[in-house]
Structure 1
Amino acid sequence: MELPHIGQNCDAENCNQLDFLPFKCDHCGKVFCLQHKFCDDHKCTAPAREQNEEYQGERSYSCTIPGCEKKELTPIVCHHCNLNFCLSHRTQEDHNCEKLPGRARELTKTAEHVEKILAQKEFKPKATPTNPKAIQMAAKIALMKLKTKATGDVGIPQAERVYFNILLPIESKKPPIPLFVSKMWSIGRLIDFVADKASITNRNNTGAVKKLAMFHGDTGIRLPPDSSINGLLEDSAVMLLNGSTVILECVHDSVDVLDNIKLYKR
């Protein structure tokens, strides 16, 4: 099967490099690679446009904690996770910083959880590419497709957004939905968000025998509801990536692995 043409060649003289995320010059209208995106780099000959008058009012910086609407006149950036916060969430403990020493223990527990499931079920996850370029290319292509059609909470800062292709419960007979969410969310919050977005009945806060759970789309492993999305993204044992496919299904608490993940991808 012929692969679709992705990216564009750089218009800079003697370059012609293929770039998958090219930059279009606002002055000359040509397309350039990362090394030639600025006017000086590609020796732009088009006359510079008049610059818009700069905003003279007070600038404010929003807190990246979901639900926090506080803003500060100066940026308060955590030197550990490089995200911006308000005064109330400036310390690592206040914003549950992903670089906290305790978070390392959380990642270790998640890895142990995955290994335990694989050992009990004798389930071998699908082999992943070992070539770094192949991994980067696959993730980039998946993200490019998702970003063109994904929906989500527009209040989520761009720096926090992660994209997933969500496969819904088989019995719902609903098509997959591409979504962007915050990496600061827990898997439990992701489940609630997806259920609400797709109009799926959610009985997780009741005594129901079966409850909604989120599973990895390639390995079928159940993602712990208390784990943060960012923590799982950083855990190589889980193999969850920005652009991954995940599966929402209603199951018993004893189900740790979906053995029939191929049924969801028909």
Structure 2
Amino acid sequence: MELLDIGQHCANPDCKRLDYLPTKCHYCKKVYCFDHSKPSEHNCNDAPSGDGERVPTCPLCGTPVPIVRGEDPNLRMEQHIAKGCHPPPATVSSKPFNSCSFNRCKERVAIRLTCSGCGKNYCIKHRLEPDHMCDKSKKGNKIMPSASELVTNESKPKSKPKPTSKPTVKKPKKSIKAWFKKIFK
């Protein structure tokens, strides 16, 4: 029989199965069947300790905490915290600089939208001076409608103007030729 010479037996002492497509371990260089091909399946002593395992990171400081194979990661994490885990320092201001300065608005924007009048940062909804009741517009005694009022006013139907008896036509003060000569000197 020629088929008995094809394939190899599994190196695991409990298995010894004849496999026609055996797999060689990268670490111990022994041949195993498909069921025992992974280093964890055949308890490979030559495999590195972190093969296929993730290193946990500290939830307080964000640094990786290395563990030894077989060690409980929770115990190692508790030791790390007890030794003096240093969380990153908190920011100086409680309010981020990209949050809206308008009263009772909690919107945050990715880009600073600074008002040219008062110099404060606002969201897209309150970015215009009339919308956030800017100090500059109050000082000038200008009562300007907000953007939302402008939109509602434009959506209302407009009354038709009364026709006049004679349409007036204004004569241009300067001729077009004189205007072009002035522009393209």
- Which TM-score band (shorter chain)? under 0.3
TM-score by length of 1: 0.17
Mark the structure with the bigger radius of gyration. Answer: 2
> Which structure's relative contact order is higher, taking Cα pairs within 8 Å and 6+ residues apart?
1
TM-score by length of 2: 0.25
More strand by share: 1
